[in-house]
Chain A
Amino acid sequence: MKPLYQAFSVARKDLAVEFRTKESLNAAAAFSVAILLLFSFAFDPFSDTIHELAGGLLWLTFAFAGALVFNRGFSRELPNECLDTLLASPLEPSSLLIGKAIGVFFLLLIVEVISLCVFGIFYGMRWWLHPGELALTCGLTTWGIAIVGSVFGALTVNLRLRELMLPVIIYPLLIPLLIGAIETTNTLLIEQPFTGYEWLWAKVLLVFDIVFTSLAVALAETILVN
């Protein structure tokens, strides 16, 4: 239980700093709302075709907003050599990575809730009709984005062009996750429950999360120290 307790302590600290400064939360929320607002002018938000695009529009917005959040995750540890202090402390490197991902996960969820409210208003979509399936899709996809973002955030933390490098490395890896999220979300946005096809994609999301979380835990020492 100790590594998990350490991970939640890291997440709690990151969230406390973020709620105090609102550095990435404000930027990510404003970015998402602006994109959704602009697309509501680019497409007719009440046409039938928007239902086919809506899932993609939402998840690409969340993924790009995510870059603003996970870019800050490890760069927050650079001033005062806090990262070195954490690595020399009794904190397990895997707990540090998972803690960072938990922090990013909650921040992204906040951005998603704000964006979904705006989306409902501008596009007239009743996304809340299947809350269980929606929560499952958002939870699994957001964790996938958070863990991949945190792992590569740690790898690129000392690069000068990390803000540019991080999205370039991460988005190709997120393709299977985003396809799954788009497929399942499209079904929810046409107000239908999951069928076998969507459950299959939900399993893909779950497998993606398990694989990347396991890799993060197993390789944390190598990623952070070596």
Chain B
Amino acid sequence: MGQAIEVDHVWKYYGDYPALRDCTLGIAEGSCCALLGRNGAGKTTLLRILAGLSHFQRGNIRLFGTAPRASETRRRTGFLGHGIGVYEDLSARENLVFFARIADVPSVSQTADGWLKRVGLDRVAAMPVRQFSRGMRQRLALARAFLHEPNVLLLDEPFTSLDDRAIAMLSQLLIESRERGATIVLSTHQLREAMAIASHVALIENGKLRYSGERTQDMLDDPTLLYRLHTELGAA
């Protein structure tokens, strides 16, 4: 399998502060890479750059050989950021129908209804999102991100505010996406869930990539092992 995502010596500054420092990372097609790191390490910055929402000052990034902002790349990418990216005044179904339309999904209504069922929101499909609980919103956001069956999924802390059932549902969705060949990059603080799903792990500290490689059985047995071995805080 070739590389789906290539991050080549990328530097990103916020003013004078380097949020990413000489970051080089390759993510193979069909793999699931868990981006780990403490708050402010640079995980969200990297995901936003990959999604084409943020510019970088130096280096190069390619998703399937094209730039992050290229139309072709955006058609192949599903992004879930910190915000859920759905409209409060529209119903769950109206939200999914809208996003299906702009993604040029065939049979819009059927796709929207199918996803509402998959994420367990079919019974509240006509209800405005304003009235949803946090977990329901997050499930709708997941349906929105997966709707057009993207080849690359960029998920920023997708487990946040999900209950056990929803975490199991998300894990299943991620496994199914990998089975159909999708490449997944997710940032998370939930180490146990991340290690269970990920095939690869990347650890970022202060904008620098400290480790990147395959997820090993040791990491699965002890999810904090990576932090202890590869970060300054862990070493101390």
Q: A90-B71, A90-B74 are known contacts. Are A85 and B83 too (CB-CB below 8 A)?
A: yes
Query: Is the C-beta of A49 less than 8 angstroms from some C-beta in chain B?
Result: no
Q: In the complex, how many residues of chain A place their beta carbon closer than 8 angstroms to a beta carbon of chain B?
A: 28
Chain B min CB distance to A217 (Å): 14
* B28–chain A nearest beta-carbon distance, Å: 22
Inter-chain contacts of A16 with B (CB < 8 A):
90, 94
Q: How would residues 76 to 101 of chain B score, 1 for a CB under 8 Å from any chain A CB and 0 otherwise? A: 01010111111111100010001101
Cα of A25 to Cα of B212 in the assembled complex, Å: 53
Q: Which residues of B contact A166 (CB under 8 A)?
A: none
Whether A20 lies near B71 (C-beta < 8 A) is no
- Name the A residues within 8 Å of B84 (CB-CB): 80-81
B225 at the interface (CB under 8 A from A): no
Question: Is A84 within 8 A of B71, CB to CB?
Answer: no
Q: Which of A9, A13, A80, A95 contacts B88 (CB 8 A)?
A: A80
Establish whether residues A6 and B101, one from each chain, have CB atoms under 8 Å apart when the complex forms. yes
B75 at the interface (CB under 8 A from A): yes
Q: Mark A55-69, 1 if CB is under 8 A from B, else 0.
A: 000000000000000
Question: Do the beta carbons of B69 and A80 come within 8 Å of each other?
Answer: no
Would you call B104 and A89 a contact (CB within 8 A)? no
Q: Does A5 contact B (CB under 8 A)?
A: yes
Q: Which residue of B lies closest to A93 (CB)?
A: B69
Decide if the interface of chain B is mainly helix, strand, loop or mixed: loop
- 1/0 per residue, CB under 8 A from A, across B97-116: the answer is 01101111000000000000
CA distance A225 to B49 in the complex (A): 12
A72 CB → nearest B CB, Å: 12
B51 at the interface (CB under 8 A from A): yes
Beta-carbon contact of A87 and B86 below 8 Å? no
Contacts A13-B87, A81-B82 hold; do A90 and B53 have CB atoms under 8 A apart? no
Please tell me if the beta carbons of B53 and A84 are within 8 angstroms of each other in the complex. Answer: yes
Q: How large is the interface on B (under 10, 10 to 19, 20 to 34, 35 or more residues)?
A: 20 to 34
Residue of B nearest to A13 (CB): B98
In chain A, positions 6-24 with a C-beta closer than 8 Å to chain B are 6, 9-10, 12-13, 16-17, 20-21
Which residue in chain B gives the minimum CB-CB distance to A99?
A: B102
Q: Please pick, from A10, A17, A89, the residue contacting B90 in the complex, using a CB distance under 8 A.
A: A17
Does A79 lie at the interface of the complex (its beta carbon under 8 Å from any beta carbon of B)? yes
A85 to B85, CA, bound (A): 5
B118-161 CB mask vs A (1 if < 8 Å, else 0) is 00000000000000000000000000100010000010000000
Q: How far is the CB of B130 from chain A (nearest CB, A)?
A: 10
Q: Does B26 contact A (CB under 8 A)?
A: no
Interface string of B180-213 (1 = CB under 8 A from A): 0000000000000000000000000000000000
Q: Specify which chain A residues have a CB less than 8 angstroms from the CB of B77 in the assembled complex.
A: 88
- Whether B223 is near chain A, meaning CB under 8 Å from some CB there, is no
Give the 3 A-B CB pairs with smallest separation, nearest first.
A81-B83, A85-B85, A88-B79
